[in-house]
Structure formats: C-alpha cells, structure tokens
Chains A and B, each alone.
Chain A
Amino acid sequence: MKNNIFKIFILVSLILILYKNIDFFRKGYFVLTKDYNQRFKESYEKDQFSGFCSRESHGYVHYIKNKYKAVESPVIINLDQARRKLPYWIFYNLFGIVDKDKLILLNYNKSYDNLIKNFTIIDNHINKCLYLEKKNGNN
C-alpha cells in the first residue's frame, strides 16, 4: 500500500514537472483568453527569423489577411538585404496563386520609392511594411 502511494506520488510529481516544463498553465490560459490571430502574431514576434514587421514579417502578412479579408495572397516582396522566405502560405491558397493587383512590401524604406509610384497605399505600418493596390490602368 505504502509502495503504491509512493509510486502515485512520483507519477503525479513527474506530471507536474512536465506541465511546468511545457508551461502548460500559462499557455492554456492564453489559448482560452487570446484568439488565434493574436497568438499567431505573438508567436512569430518571438521567432528569430520573423517578427510583426521585421525580417520575414509573418505578423504583418497575417494582419493584412485578416483586416482586409484577403482570399488570395497579394504579391509579397521582402526588401531586406538578407535572404528571407516569403510567407505566402499564410493565405492557405495553393502554391503560386496570387492576386497580382495587390502587393505587400516588407522592410521597405524610402530608397525604394520608385517601386510604389504606380500603387495606392492601403495600409502603412511605420513606413516599413506596406499593403498596396495597383492604380487603375497600370500594369
């Protein structure tokens, strides 16, 4: 009997250690209280290759998808000097399906002004991440 209680004590302790290691209670609380979009944004802000509007900027692309209810992915251009993946997958479209009239520019700066002269700015995040739409009649 004593032996059994000891085993159960060990088992419960190990479960609690595992819960603590995974940080279950904090994460569980946030899954309950924060919606998917907010958690997505925060997760990629912590990612070493991404951020909201830095590096691969998953947060900004996801924000555009939700705010403008974009069904098809706009063309995404990352102007960062480093080689970056383009997070087209966030739109859950088939590979290669893009709306060529819309453009997301990531890590933009004023030296690329020429690039956007034929576009209307729909959304501008600190002049660094832009969501643009082609002006009528422009190719």
Chain B
Amino acid sequence: MEIINIFYLFFVFIIFFSINLPFSALRLDNNFTYIDQLTFNIIIQINLILFLSLLNLPLEKILYVYFCYLTVCFIFHCKNFNKIKFTKMNHNYFYFFILVIFFLISIDISYSLTLDWDAQKFWFFKVLNFYNNETIDNLVNVPNPQYPFLGSLLWGLFWKISFYPEEYTGRLFYAFMYCISIANLTEILKLSKNIKMIFYIILIMLSYKYILFSGGQDLLIFCLISITAKTFYEIIDNKKKISIYQFLLLLLICNSLIWTKQEGVIYAFIITFILLFFSKINLTKSILLLGFVAFFFIVRILVYNFYNLEININSSGWNNFSFISMVEKFSIDRIVTIISFFIFSFLKNSFFLLGLFFLIASLLYRKNINNNLYIYFFYTLSYGFIFFAYILSDLELIWMLKTGLDRLIFSASPLYILIVVKYINAHNLKI
C-alpha cells in the first residue's frame, strides 16, 4: 500500500508538473529540456498555490482551483496536440534514473519518519493548519506566526492528495523537488548522458541526509537556489541575454524564497543584485526585476499585516537593537566563536569541499577565476548576512550555532557546484 502510494505520488508529480502553461506549449525555447519544463512548471504551480492561499482559501478549495487550472492547461494541450514537443526516447532513461533515486529517498523517508526539532515545534503545526482545512487567517493561532508558510502549504497539499493518510507522504514532494533540482545542476555539464548520470549520483551521495527531509525548510531553499544556479550559468557564464522564461523563472523563484523562510528574503535580493551587476540585462528589465522583487516583499508584509500575523523579527531571537547593545555584541569572543563554527560547518559541507578543490585547481590552471565573481559575491553577501544574524542574536550563541549553522550553509551551497561544472566545461574534459 505505501509502496504503491510512493509510485502514485511520483506519477502525480510528473504528470502535474509536465503540464505547461498554455502559451509555453507554443513558444518553448529550443534549448528547453524536459527538466527545464518540469522546473518551470513546479515554480509556476507552487506560486499559483501560494497565490490561492493568500486569498484565504482552505486547502480543499485551493486543490479544486488547482485541478481546474491543470485541466484547462491539459485541454489546451490536447487542442494543440501536434505542436507539443515530446522528449526524445533516448532521454527517457535519465528520467527513469530520477525515479530510481526518488524511490530510494522515499523509502528512507517512509522508514525513518522522525520530524526534526523545528518541524515538531512550528512547521508541522502550519501543515496541520492547512491539512485541517483552515486558512492563512488561522495561522495567527499556531506557533511562530511570523514564519513564512509556503513549504508547509505544499507539504499539506500533497499529503491531502495522497491516498495514504500519514504526514510523511506530503514530504515526498520535497524528495521530488530535490531530485529535480540536482538534475538541474547536472544538466549544465557539457558531457555525455552517462557521465551526467554519474555526476548526478555523486551529488546525491554528497548531499543526501535524512535529516534534510525531516520537515525543515532548508531543503526547499537549497532546491530553489540550485535552480537559480543553473539559470545564472546560462545567463552570466554563457553571456546570453535573459529570456522572458528565465526572467519569469527568477522572479517566481524570488517570490518562493520570500515565502519559504525568513532568510529567503535576503537570498531573493542577492539574486536580484547578481542579475543587475553581472548579467547582460537592460535598464528596463533591471528596474522591472528590482521593482517586482521589492513588490513581492511588500506584498508579504501587507499580507502579514492584513491577517495579523507578526512580521517583526524580535520574537525570533533579536530583541535589542540599541546601538550600545549592538556594539557590545561585537566582542572578540563572539566573533571567534562564530568563525570557528563557520569553519567546522564548511568542513562538514561536501559541496563546499568539492567546490574548494576545483577552485584551487582553477587557480593553478589560471582559468575561470574572473567568471566566478558572481559566485564570490553571492557567498560574501549570504555569509555576511548569516554572520551578522548570529552576532546580533540575543539567544545563547553556541546553541544557535550548533543547531542552525550547518543547515544554513547547506541551503546556500548549490553555487559551489557551479565552480565544479565550470571547471569541467572549460577544460573540455573528455571523459
């Protein structure tokens, strides 16, 4: 029964996320792979689900509208049947391979079952809010109402769709998203399919841990940043103009980040700044991009105010912002503690170590160094933000670092893989 449910959910994910927006069926980019389509549709559909939840609809009604949307798109596709491009048969075994990995992770989730501390304390109560057909309006009655809820909403939605009534079935969506986002990183490699699959499995081996799937939201941030990393590579490294799809994709990723975790807001703005400073984007698009991301952030504040959800960060561990208190917190002790925890977390992060290895190799062969500027920019801002968040925290510093830093480093880590991929592509390695 549970095994059948896993296969059922996999096919639900594949079918739902294969249904394109009507116009994209006619105007797909030639370089669009099936993974690109899936990714684009995932991002569009999670934003649609988010938008419906903001209208204060309960989950059953969200599902109803969501199915209507899928049906309309499907009918449109049937009408334009001759215009739809199907994937080539020789690509299919890669998708079968993703199914194998998804099945493997799903078995681990359905066996291990435990929820992590944060999930038990507040994320899962948000899930229960939606699962029990309450709306965003009622989130004020669950712990930590100031936290974003997109991940919990999706967890609740796919739990509802599943025919096995236990919560872990909703978390299988995270496994699917993880498989697709790693596949996204793999697609950048200019190598044969077999090598891409080997690279894919190495990335899974390096990054997979059950704890990531135990209800925390860092995995979703990781997935969204992985998708962003691929788009950065296409726009910045390939020196191409940003297409309408990439523009829309990045905007919706920024919106998803804003609604997934508190630090998602920072990542959304960092992504925007990278595009503004490092890509060939014209002035109109720059203003539009920055304007939209700011607009999404303002919408979040307005929605939280409208539904009386807290928006201040005081309740999350930052209480005292007086100048004297802030200066006092910048003690040598605290700085050294944070830096030492950073070093330990880096050493535990396989993507960082892999990236570092290839960065050193790049330095030795004097290749790619300048092209990595946007990656350094991303990490300088991200880690700078994390550093300041910790140093200004009023909670016990060591406890905060022990419980949170590894996860934060992990969620920002996909861009390290770009260093690896760029090295391999630049050296035209014949494997």
Contact = CB atoms under 8 A, between A and B. Distances in A.
A8 B97 CA distance: 13
A131 B142 CA distance: 26
B201 A15 contact: yes
Nearest to A85: B120
A94 B129 contact: yes
Contacts of A11: 194, 197-198, 201
Contacts of A22: 104-105, 107-108, 208
Contacts of A85: 117, 120-121
Interface stretch (B30-38, B130-138, B394-402): B130-138
Given A7-B195, A92-B167, A94-B134, A47 B110 contact: no
A18 B101 CA distance: 9
Nearest to B108: A22
Given A10-B198, A89-B120, A94-B138, A30 B111 contact: yes
Interface in B30-74: none
B232 interface: no
Interface in A25-84: 27-28, 30-32, 36, 39-40, 43-44, 47, 49
A136 interface: no
Contacts of B208: 18, 22
Contacts of A127: none
Centre residue among A85, A87, A89 by max chain B CB count within 10 A: A89
B110 to A, nearest CB: 5
Given A11-B201, A18-B201, A95 B3 contact: no
Interface in B99-117: 100-101, 104-105, 107-108, 110-115, 117
Contacts of A87: 120
B107 A24 contact: yes
A14 B202 contact: yes
Interface residues of B, number: 40
Nearest to B123: A89
B108 A7 contact: no
B423 interface: no
A96 B192 CA distance: 55
Contact of A95 (B2, B105, B125): B125
Contacts of A21: 205
A89 B128 contact: yes
A43 B198 contact: no
Interface string B162-199: 00001100000000000000000000000010110110
Interface residues of A, number: 33
A27 B111 contact: yes
Nearest to A10: B198
B112 A24 contact: no
Nearest to B124: A89
A40 B141 contact: no
Centre residue among B101, B121, B195, B201 by max chain A CB count within 10 A: B201
Nearest to A40: B113
Nearest to B167: A92
B154 to A, nearest CB: 17
B142 A95 contact: yes
B204 interface: yes
Nearest to A25: B107
Nearest to B6: A31
A89 B125 contact: yes
A14 B100 CA distance: 13
Contacts of A15: 100, 201
A122 interface: no
Contact of A31 (B111, B129, B198, B202): B111
Contacts of B129: 94-95
A95 B143 contact: yes
Interface string A87-110: 101001111100000000000000
A4 interface: yes
B198 A14 contact: yes
A46 to B, nearest CB: 8
Contacts of B167: 92
B195 A94 contact: no
Contacts of A18: 101, 104, 201, 204-205, 208
Contact of B128 (A4, A40, A49, A94): A94
Contacts of A94: 125, 128-129, 132, 134, 138, 141-142
Nearest to B119: A89
5 contacts: A8-B194, A14-B202, A31-B3, A93-B132, A94-B138
Interface of B: 2-3, 100-101, 104-105, 107-108, 110-115, 117, 120-121, 124-125, 128-129, 131-132, 134, 138, 141-143, 166-167, 192, 194-195, 197-198, 201-202, 204-205, 208
Given A22-B104, A28-B107, A89-B120, 10 more contacts: A8-B194, A15-B201, A28-B111, A31-B3, A32-B3, A87-B120, A89-B115, A92-B128, A93-B132, A95-B141
Complex A-B, nearest 3 residue pairs according to Cβ-Cβ distance, in ascending order: A27-B111, A7-B194, A95-B125
